[in-house]
Structure 1
């Protein structure tokens, strides 16, 4: 009798162990609530052809964010004062439930009838389609000034600290006599000149006012030989008369600071 009880007990234990080892399968799968064609995007301009634009995604069961080229709006509905005239494409990126998707909507902006953030005017001038040219605030030879120098890494607050005043002491960059031009003539246009008498190299730029960053694509800024392939810089100062950029970690593992002035 005791043997039968022991055998029965061990049998129960083995059943419990076997059951515990079985994987718990959740066979519930996410399903799309619609398809990309069924997602409704709406762009509403406050005035005909104006640059105050409301972007909205109006389909239930869809979530995501707006990419408006100069930043992202992490909601289904955003209002922006867009700084660039011309035909513009805005993108909504989201999920249908079971898969991700992106969809675009085109907007024609004919006039900048709503004022931009002052940073835009400081960078490209109030004649936004004409633009503005920036040069180093010193040089082109070593002149004792602080306009291109090594700084502590990963600390924008330490931008004024010069671990090595490269341009001021001995070693200005090879393009110290060059210039950079920014304009909004149909797009965020950027042109780099390594010297005063050379052909410009074209690229593009994105000014992120909210996060105070400047992204340069397809080209370099002056003095970029310190290494920054990503082209993203922290804005320390942007006024009508001054542009100061900082890089937290360059190719050499230090920080770096650039000081520019209008041409």
Structure 2
């Protein structure tokens, strides 16, 4: 009997200890601070109709980022020089508190009164609406030159480390005699031509990421994309008025690096 009492006291004490150790949980649920209509986006231009644009999300309590076509800014406010005349749409993506949203704002650019980064003029020419056409720096038949070749993977530093001179030695790409055209006529337009006669073309768009030295092709393939990647993202090794060298650190076709060398038509 005495033992039973001791056991009962022990069990009661254990229950009290467990209850005392039970954590106090203050459940907090995320709540929206406003709705999408309440998110205010503001666009200003340093000159009327000019191409220096500032985008600002001014609603308190909202966080997110801007996608302004040339890149993304992980802030609520960004200022940039825009290269394309006409009406452009910019997108803000953020959170209301408990859910994500996207909202857009349109900006009309009537004049390119602020100079672009030199890379833009090198790629599309000084007449940005007319644009510029590029072809391979060699070929279209094997000619011993280095214009489309396998290189070491991993870094643009390896772009000229020739592993196999595919285009120059034996095996040019299917569009070796083709060309590609870049222009800013109302949008960042890209056109791929499979051959010099321009009988076969494919239209898309492009992004020139100057800060990260990337050229991104969408909706059409890069010249020589037999060795390209599906995402269309190429590293810029060099870009001048007279030559453009692009590089893949890991070609999906070959599993190696790959280098593309172009010159103006």
Select between 24-33 and 216-225 the one with higher mean Cα deviation: 24-33
- For 1:34, what is the secondary structure of its paired residue? coil
Write the distance in 2 (CA, Å) between the matches of 1:16 and 1:242.
77
Contact 2:222–2:228 under 8 Å retained in 1: no
- For the residues of structure 1 that align with 2:224 and 2:13, how far apart are their CA atoms? 76
- Does residue 205 (structure 1) correspond to residue 203 (structure 2)? The answer is no
Mapped to 1, the partners of 2:228 and 2:119 lie a distance apart of 26
Q: In 1, distance between residues paired with 2:165 and 2:9?
A: 84
Please, what is the CA RMSD of the aligned residues? 1.8
Matched length: 262
- Separation in 1, partners of 2:168, 2:87: 44
The alignment's TM-score, normalised by the length of structure 2, stands at 0.93
Pairwise mapping of residues 235-246 of structure 1 onto structure 2 (< 5 A)? 235-246=236-247
1:40 maps to which residue?
A: 40
More displaced 10-residue stretch of structure 1: 9-18 or 58-67: 9-18
After the TM superposition, which residues 97-246 of structure 1 pair with which residues of structure 2 at under 5 Å, given as runs? Answer: 97-197=97-197, 198-246=199-247
Structure 2 stretches lacking a partner, 5+ long: none
Q: 1:256 matched to which residue of 2?
A: 258
Question: Which region of structure 1 is more displaced relative to structure 2, 127-136 or 164-173?
Answer: 164-173
TM-score, normalised by the number of residues in structure 1:
0.94
Q: Counterparts of 2:165 and 2:97 in 1: how far apart (Å)?
A: 54
Change beyond 3 A, Cα 1:2–1:63: same
Q: What is the distance in 1 between the residues matched to 2:171 and 2:19? A: 73
1:15 deviates by 6.1
